[in-house]
Amino acid sequence: MPSSAVKVLDKNGQEITSVGFDRFGFNSEVPIDDLRSLYLRSHYSSAKPNDELNPDDEGPHHAQFTKGLSPYQSKSIYYPEHNSISYTTLARFPPVKLLAPSQRKRVLVTGGAGFVGSHLVDRLMLLGHDVTVLDNFFTGSRTTVSHWVGHPNFELVRHDVVEPFMIECDQIYHLACPASPPHYQFNAVKTVKTSFMGTLNMLGLAKRTKARFLISSTSEVYGDPEVHPQPEDYWGHVNPIGDRACYDEGKRVAETLTYGYHRQDGVDVRVARIFNTYGPRMNPYDGRVVSNFIVQALKGEDLTVYGDGTQTRSFQYIHDLVDGLICLMNSDETRPVNIGNGDEFTIGDFAELVREIVEKVQAEDGDKPSRQVQVVYKALPNDDPQKRRPDTTRAKESLKWQPRWTVRMGLEEMVRYYKAKMAEGSL
């Protein structure tokens, strides 16, 4: 595999060439370029009027990431003069590990077409496991996993988790649930149903199949916390009837159900409390702060800070989260575990950082921004937590897991991803 055109240094200044590790009998390591070739791949090549079609040409914005991996890229062709696209299936799937049947897991990923799910799916597929994605495409999209459709190890099922579902599997990553405030508040009753009935069904499935069950819970179970940073044994400070309650209380009851099945029925459970995570494939319009700020800055629009910008969040890059989820799933830790990055920012400072990084990447690429973007202030949404930072002592001690990506490195990669999407016209 080629070495990457973009060098990434971790928190200790070491170059990141691969993610994952061999721990708890499960090797999750893959080269970072193999993953990049999936999320920074070109979705099509452009045909100029009267041009010979050359589907092997990669767009210039993607080529620097996907060099050498073009046989695994989609060869769809875009016709600018008609604004139409001719889809082609992949000529060849990316190489996946050939595992002995004893090592190969049958893994169900609910919500696998979403932001977090699709990155987990890429990792599990490259590692050689059998992966089934179950998703109703409410906030996720088939395009996030389309590069695996047709692969013998992969299955994509449109299904709503509030309905029962039968499958035979060894591990269940239960991620299905809208995660951004505008999305989970769009239909609050459905969010509660998804959290309760969806989790009940997936736990029933785990009980029947004796599969190990991991739920993606959230830092929102701590609400607007009175303890800082938040350790797992903090019970939280949640408004049960506020705008965020459908999500916060939904996840709290989902955890209650999970430990109910664990105690009553012996279901083997794992609970990941995920803190704010960002990365490529985040829906650019789902209203979360990282995607909002980057897209605004790239489009030359002002960055919208809600409230006075003194509230804080701690941002984790997607590969660290996937490492943590896989590590937790394969460990013996049945208590809840915070998975997040301790680098805490006020939202006001974070807006400045995003603006600076977007300007840096634009300067490196020789782009001329249409205007200097400003930071503007909007009303603070109800019940917006004032501060949030994970206490990750448990993950460190129990899983030997710690985040490796600096916020700056993750943001630079995400800016390049959105830039490439803009250049393609799909953002």
Min dist CB 331 to ligand NAD, Å, is 19
Q: Tell me whether residue 247 is one of the annotated catalytic residues.
A: yes
| Amino acid symbol at 101 | P
CA distance 424 to 40: 12
Q: Binders of ligand NAD: how many residues, by CB under 6 A? A: 28
Mark 281-306 as b/e (b = at least 16 C-beta within 10 Å): bbbbebebbbbbbbbbbbeeebbebe
- For ligand UDP, give the closer residue by CB, 194 or 276: 276
- For ligand UDP, give the closer residue by CB, 29 or 286: 286
Which of 381, 398, 402, 424 is in the footprint of ligand UDP by CB under 6 A?
381
Which of 205, 211, 354, 357 is in the footprint of ligand UDP by CB under 6 A?
205
Closest CA to 55 of 35, 37, 34, 76: 76
175 forms part of the interface with ligand NAD (CB under 6 A): yes
Closest CA to 397 of 331, 342, 341: 331
Which of 208, 210, 237, 396 is in the footprint of ligand UDP by CB under 6 A?
208
Q: For ligand NAD, what does the binding mask look like between residues 191 and 230, x meaning CB under 6 A?
A: ---x---x-----------------x-x------------
Task: State both tokens at 282.
Answer: 């985040």
138 forms part of the interface with ligand NAD (CB under 6 A): yes
Residues 278-317 that bind ligand UDP (CB under 6 A): 288-289, 292, 304-306, 311, 313
CA distance 109 to 26: 17
Residues 6+ apart with CB under 8 A from 315: 276, 277, 278, 290, 341, 343, 345, 350, 407, 410
CA distance 321 to 28: 13
Residues 97-136 that bind ligand NAD (CB under 6 A): 111, 113-117, 135-136
The binder of 304, among ligand NAD, ligand UDP, none, by C-beta within 5 to 8 A per type, is ligand UDP
Beta strand 26-27 with 22-23 is: antiparallel
Residue in 247, 261, 417, 418 annotated catalytic:
247
CA distance 21 to 30: 8
Chain residues that interact with ligand UDP, rule: CB under 6 A: 164-166, 180-181, 200-201, 204-205, 207-208, 276, 288-289, 292, 304-306, 311, 313, 347, 381, 384
Residues designated catalytic: 247
